[in-house]
Structure 1
Amino acid sequence: MMLNNVYIKLLGTIVMSIGLMVILFLSSEEQVHRNNAFIRRFPPHPVIKEYDIDLGFNSYYVAGLGKDMVYLGNSTAPLHLLKINLATRDTAHVKLKLSNTDLPFKNVHVQVQPPFFFVLDGSIPYIFRGSTNNWVAGPWMRNEAYFTKSLVLDSNRIYIKTMQNDTRTVTLGLLEKRDHFSVELHPEILQRQIDGVFDVDGIMLTTPDKTRLGYVYFYRNQFMTMDSRLKTLKRQQTIDTVKKARIEIAQLDRSKTSKMKSPPLVVNTKATMYKNFMFIASDRLGKNENREILKVASIIDVYNWSDATYRYSFYLYHMGKEKVHGFSVNDGRLVALIDNALSVYNFREGFVDHTPYGEQENITGQ
Structure 2
Amino acid sequence: MKTFKSRFVECTGYFFILLFCYASISKILDFENFQIQIGQSPLLSTYAGIVSYFTIIIEIAIAFLLAIPTTRRIGLYFSIGLMAAFTAYIYIILNYSEFIPCSCGGILEKMDWNTHLIFNICCILLAIISFFLEETDRNKNYKRTISVVLFMLVFSSGMVVLLYYTSEYMIKKENNFIRRFPHHGVVEIDSYDLKFNSFYFAGHDNDKIYLGNYTSPFLLIALSKDLKSYEQYVLKPENYKTFKWSSTKIKVAPPYIFLYDGKIPIIYKALIGQTEMKIVSVNDAYFSDLENVDNDHIALRYKSSNTGSNRLGLLNLSEDNRIKLDDSSLDGNGLFETDGQLLYSPFSESLIYVYYYKNRFDVFDKTISQKAIHHTIDTISRPKIKVVEMKNGIKKMAAPPQIVNAYATVQQDILFNRSNLIGRFELRKHWKNNSVVDMYNISKREYLGSFYVENRGDNKMTQMLATDQFFYTLIGSEIVRYRYAQVISKQLTRESPKPIKE
Contact preservation (8 Å) 1:68, 1:87: no
Instruction: Note the C-alpha offset of 1:115.
Output: 3.3
Distance 2:265 2:380 in 1: 35
Distance 1:340 1:141 in 2: 34
Residue 313 of structure 2: aligned partner? 173
Instruction: Note the C-alpha offset of 1:100.
Output: 1.5
Residue 76 of structure 1: aligned partner? 215
Contact preservation (8 Å) 1:70, 1:83: yes
Contact preservation (8 Å) 2:192, 2:227: no
Distance 2:256 2:441 in 1: 31
User: What residue identity is the alignment partner of 1:159?
Assistant: A
- Aligned partner (choices 462, 478, 481) of residue 325 of structure 1: 462
Asked which structure has the greater RCO (Cα within 8 Å, sep 6+), the reply is 1
For 1:106-117, list aligned pairs within 5 A.
106-117=246-257
For 1:116-131, list aligned pairs within 5 A.
116-131=256-271
2:174 equivalent to 1:40: no
Gap change, CA 1:88 and 1:263, over 3 Å in 2: closer
User: What residue identity is the alignment partner of 1:76?
Assistant: T
Residue 200 of structure 2: aligned partner? 61
Contact preservation (8 Å) 2:468, 2:492: no
Q: Secondary structure at the match of 2:322?
A: strand
CA RMSD of superposed structures (Å): 2.0
**Deviation sequence 1:48-79 (CA, Å, 0-9, x none):** 22210111111111112112211100000001
**Deviation sequence 1:238-271 (CA, Å, 0-9, x none):** 11001111111101125x3211111111111011
Distance 2:290 2:257 in 1: 13
**Deviation sequence 1:316-363 (CA, Å, 0-9, x none):** 11111111111111213211111111111121234144489xxxxxxx
Contact preservation (8 Å) 1:150, 1:158: yes
Contact preservation (8 Å) 2:470, 2:483: yes
- Aligned partner (choices 277, 284, 294) of residue 414 of structure 2: 277
**Deviation sequence 1:265-308 (CA, Å, 0-9, x none):** 11110111112211111121112322222222100011112122
For 1:12-31, list aligned pairs within 5 A.
none
Structure with higher helix content: 2
2:482 equivalent to 1:345: yes
Contact preservation (8 Å) 2:405, 2:420: yes
2:197 equivalent to 1:197: no
**Deviation sequence 1:170-212 (CA, Å, 0-9, x none):** 21111120032522223333111xx321111111111254712
Residue 228 of structure 1: aligned partner? 366
Distance 1:353 1:212 in 2: 21
2:191 equivalent to 1:52: yes
Distance 1:328 1:247 in 2: 28
Structure with higher strand content: 1
Q: Secondary structure at the match of 2:429?
A: helix
Indicate the structure (1 or 2) with the bigger Cα radius of gyration: 2
Distance 1:327 1:181 in 2: 36
Distance 1:189 1:142 in 2: 23
Gap change, CA 1:206 and 1:115, over 3 Å in 2: closer
User: What residue identity is the alignment partner of 2:298?
Assistant: I
The size of the alignment, in residue pairs, is: 318
User: What residue identity is the alignment partner of 1:217?
Assistant: Y
**Deviation sequence 1:4-43 (CA, Å, 0-9, x none):** xxxxxxxxxxxxxxxxxxxxxxxxxxxxxxxx95221111
Long gaps (5+) in structure 1? 1-35, 357-366
Structure 1 segments, 4+ long, off by >6 Å, are: none
Gap change, CA 1:113 and 1:355, over 3 Å in 2: closer
User: What residue identity is the alignment partner of 1:248?
Assistant: K
Contact preservation (8 Å) 2:182, 2:487: no
Instruction: Note the C-alpha offset of 1:89.
Output: 1.9
Gap change, CA 1:325 and 1:225, over 3 Å in 2: same
Residue 315 of structure 1: aligned partner? 452
Instruction: Note the C-alpha offset of 1:232.
Output: 3.1
Q: Secondary structure at the match of 2:405?
A: coil
User: What residue identity is the alignment partner of 1:332?
Assistant: Q
Contact preservation (8 Å) 1:203, 1:270: yes
Distance 2:254 2:438 in 1: 30
User: What residue identity is the alignment partner of 1:242?
Assistant: I
For 1:117-156, list aligned pairs within 5 A.
117-156=257-296
TM-score of the pair, normalised by structure 2: 0.60
User: What residue identity is the alignment partner of 1:160?
Assistant: L
Residue 472 of structure 2: aligned partner? 335
Gap change, CA 1:92 and 1:210, over 3 Å in 2: farther
Instruction: Note the C-alpha offset of 1:101.
Output: 2.1
- Report the more deviating stretch, 319-328 or 166-175: 166-175
Contact preservation (8 Å) 2:362, 2:373: yes
Residue 31 of structure 1: aligned partner? none
Percent identity at matched positions? 31
TM-score of the pair, normalised by structure 1: 0.82
User: What residue identity is the alignment partner of 1:237?
Assistant: H
Contact preservation (8 Å) 1:221, 1:237: yes
